[in-house]
Amino acid sequence: MPTTGNARAGFGSLVIIPTYNELQNLESIVARLLAATPGAHVLIVDDGSPDGTGELADRMAGSDDRIKVEHRTGKLGLGSAYVLGFGWGLERGYDYLIEMDADGSHPPERLPDMIAQVASDAPGAPSLAVGSRWVPGGSVVNWPRHRQLLSRGGNTYARLMLGLTLKDITAGFRVYSSATIAAMDLADVSSKGYCFQVDMTLRVLDQGRSVVELPIEFREREAGESKMSQAIVVEAMLRVTQWGFSRRVAKLRSGRSQATVG
């Protein structure tokens, strides 16, 4: 059972990697991850990939006991894969629960610093560390201009609608303290894609916990196809708009209630 130890080596950390048709990328990204954080464990959640990703994951798990695999019968989505992984990790007592893509876009070499931020004993230490493209020092490589504009625009819209200061709210490279995840009602999380990351950010902040953004170099995948779709973008816009209005209404009602009591 993992225990809290050297955060820079990844002890007590579970890295959750959802996969769907990532046969060309999975082995290399997991090798980089385990080289950067040799004490970490990996949970691959495969959504019945027809290209053989699940079978590759099983072979990898058979040769390295740090790797585990959960198979699902269909393409059930990123958000639900992470929720499954969070529950799996909480049941087994991991200290840090980590989101990372399988396509090589997230640099696992940044994980030790991200884990160290959340593992810090300093007062006010963050409960969530985000690998950010849009803070000073962050960058994107080989990303089409329209994808950059979409990401920047979506983050700006979410920031304005929700009254947040984070620059990369939709980022999917994250380290959570397990206590933060344990305090959430995971059964209530149904959002997907970009929207899932916004949802999780709000849940962390609503607990009164803090978030830190660390710059990363985000690279466009070199193999395989992006899972981004118009439906994911539309869902994110609709959900953010709904949450923004709901939170403003709740704030107004709270203000009126306090004024009445006063």
Q: Given pLDDT bands bounded at 50, 70 and 90, which one contains residue 50? A: very high
Q: Given pLDDT bands bounded at 50, 70 and 90, which one contains residue 87? A: very high
With respect to residue 1, please indicate whether it lies within any of the assigned structural domains. no
Other beta carbons within 10 Å of 148: 14
In this structure, what CATH number is given to the domain that contains residue 176? 3.90.550.10
Whether the pLDDT of residue 237 is over 60: the answer is: yes
With respect to residue 213, please indicate whether it lies within any of the assigned structural domains. yes
Count structural domains, the chain.
1
Return the pLDDT at 201: 96
Whether the pLDDT of residue 258 is over 60: the answer is: no
Angle between helices 111-119 and 26-36 (to 10 degrees): 50
With respect to residue 245, please indicate whether it lies within any of the assigned structural domains. yes
Could you tell me the residue range of the domain that residue 221 belongs to? 7-261
Q: Per-residue pLDDT tens for 100-115? A: 999 999 999 999 999 9
Return the pLDDT at 3: 40
Looking at the DSSP bridge assignments, the partners of residue 98 are 15, 175
pLDDT, greater one: 163 or 221: 163
> Which of 86, 121, 104, 95 has its CA nearest to residue 16?
86
3-state secondary structure of 247: helix
With respect to residue 2, please indicate whether it lies within any of the assigned structural domains. no
With respect to residue 158, please indicate whether it lies within any of the assigned structural domains. yes
Q: What is the pTM of this model?
A: 0.89
pLDDT, greater one: 121 or 4: 121
